[in-house]
A and B are shown apart, each in its own frame.
Chain A
Amino acid sequence: MDTMRERFAAVTTELLDHDRRLAVVLAAISVDQFRAAWLRHPDRVIDLGIREQLLISVAGGLALTGLRPIAHTFASFLVERPFEQIKLDLNHQGVGAVLVSAGASYDVSAGGRSHQSPGDVALIGTLPDWKVHVPGHPDEAEALLREAASGDGLVYLRLSTEANQQPLWTGRAGATVIRRGDRGTVIAVGPTADAAIAATDGLDVTVLYLATVRPFDAAALRDTLGRPDVVLVEPYLAGTSGPAVNDALAGIPHRVLPLGVPLPELRRYGSPAEHRVAHGLDAAGLRARISSFLSV
């Protein structure tokens, strides 16, 4: 299976040939994957060098001329480092852009804290008007990328080397119902789904899959709700979508268990699989906490 990042480069290269409105802005990361596109469209494939503040501002400046910018680098340098540029040069100007990150949460586990950004979705969530996609499979990433490229709003597409074996998103906007049950709801976001589905095997619970977390599909949660106990499994900072769940169930007494990457810094290197276990996001870790919370 190719990675989401490889698919992103291949599909964007194709889109650049057909959509003259599209422009790609890079900051040294993934430049090799875009070399063929740059040779064909040197004015619309722009490598700024290692300049991430400029990366976002240039995306805003391009959008002010009517182009559709796609800005890309690692999540730490795309969202955290130039956050004020996102707030002011995109949101406050009132222009659209597609931000595509690689290196999600603990993908670059051996790289240490500088290359990990589990807070990316939470940070974007402090700004209005953003769609946030967390695909769990390269096929989902491709579909969401094509939709984002053809639109004109603000889209954050978070790509990861963590992925599910099969695509789970049906292509329809909103949640996919994986399983129905009565004793509670487990919401699995993006690449956490395989572990969450394994963890709930044989349990009498509803499992929902989300590849898009903003806007949050509140209706699907309410429509499938059995016992109002909700476990949220997110591949980034634990609790990021907790407020969205609480908003969805406002007026209904409910409990929420938010699972994800814990806030304290994990000062370990090693593999993504080791970090997954350390964060309790592997199937065994999830099953223990889900069973305990739902008493199933």
Chain B
Amino acid sequence: MAPTRPNLPAPAPGDAAPCGYDHLRALMSRQTGDEKHDSASTSTLDVLWVLYDRVLRLSPDTIRDDDRDRFYLSKGHGPMAYYAVLAAKGFIRTDQLDGFGGFDSILGHHPDRNLVPGAEISSGSLGHGLPLAVGTALGLRAQRLAGHVWVLVGDGELDEGSNHEAIAYAGRAGLDNLHAVVIDNSSATYGWPGGIDARFALEGWSALRVSGRDHGALEAAFTAAHPSRPHLVVAELETAQNWPRVLLAQG
């Protein structure tokens, strides 16, 4: 039996009114019911917006094109900002945000690519997106397709060993169509002494570190040249509330 992606309904004309960055928090509120959002829930918001608004060659019209850019949300937990961006860009309808997490909703607490138009991978369990993106980068390269792959990973997620199989291989294979963004809010339980970017660089990646809230700096980092190397952008965010776990662990 061939597993196939179900035919998803296209957004109704006029119902997916694209909107801008200023609307994103309201679109998040439609999912959570909260008027305010803590820094953790918006840690990915600016990175996602800059990617979808300024960098990715991807739109609802090109989502089935073989040579489109692809974005893989590996850190699938807390996807409200992601869904808000997908709605703002017209991949899903804004009214679909209302049922977030419900039995009849396509929008779960972790995204499912078979349910959400525009979601390129299903995620939730940590440490799967970057390895999948390596495979996709290899597949695009083998077919001489021009598309690039972007994957968003959390700094805590890098604790998962599967990422390190992917980081080492991608660097050595010179996968220059592969891009990773690490949201660094210091949430890794034991931290990454020396810096996440230094570790990727040692494995052969191009690596930059910028503020995760500065749209201009993010765009510049995302579009920097990185010939013959995969590219990492570490987006620095406010420290997550759980950061003292490192100190607690050390007594």
Contact, CB under 8 Å: B125 / A84: yes
Q: Which residues of B contact A93 (CB under 8 A)?
A: 113-114, 121-122, 132
Q: Which of B1-9, B48-56, B185-193, B222-230 contacts A (4 or more CB under 8 A)?
A: B1-9
Whether A94 contacts B113 by the Cβ 8 Å rule is yes
Residue in chain B with minimal CB distance to A84: B125
Stretch in B138-146, B194-202, B212-220 with 4+ CB within 8 Å of A: B138-146
Interface code A89-106, partner B: CB below 8 Å = 1, 0 otherwise?
A: 101111110000000000
- Complex partner residue of B142 from A64, A67, A88, CB under 8 angstroms: A67
B144: nearest chain-A partner, CB-CB: A43
**Chain A residue nearest to B124 in the complex (CB):** A88
Chain A, residues 282-294, CB within 8 Å of chain B (1/0): the string is 0000000000000
> Which residue of the partner chain A has the closest CB to B170?
A54
Q: In whole angstroms, what is the CA distance A85 to B3 when docked?
A: 16
Residues on the B chain within 8 Å of A57, using CB: 128, 131-132, 134-135, 162, 166
* B136 in the interface (beta carbon within 8 A): yes
Pick from A43, A84, A85: contact of B138, CB under 8 Å? A43
List A residues 1-52 near B (Cβ within 8 Å).
Answer: 23, 25, 43-44, 46, 48-49, 51
Docked Cα-Cα span, A93 to B5, in Å, equals 9
Q: Are B128 and A154 in contact (CB under 8 A)?
A: no
Q: Tell me if B169 counts as interface (CB < 8 A to partner A).
A: yes
- Smallest distance from the beta carbon of A148 to chain B beta carbons, Å? 12
Residues of B near A96 (CB, < 8 A) are: 2-3
B45 contacts across to A, CB distance below 8 A: none
CA distance A85 to B162 in the complex (A): 10
Q: When chains A and B are docked, how far (Å) is the Cα of A44 from the Cα of B142?
A: 6
Is the CB–CB distance between B165 and A48 below 8 Å? yes
Beyond the given A61-B134, A65-B145, please list 12 additional residue pairs across the A-B interface where CB-CB is below 8 A. Answer: A53-B131, A53-B161, A57-B128, A57-B135, A62-B142, A63-B135, A64-B70, A64-B135, A67-B139, A84-B125, A85-B131, A88-B122
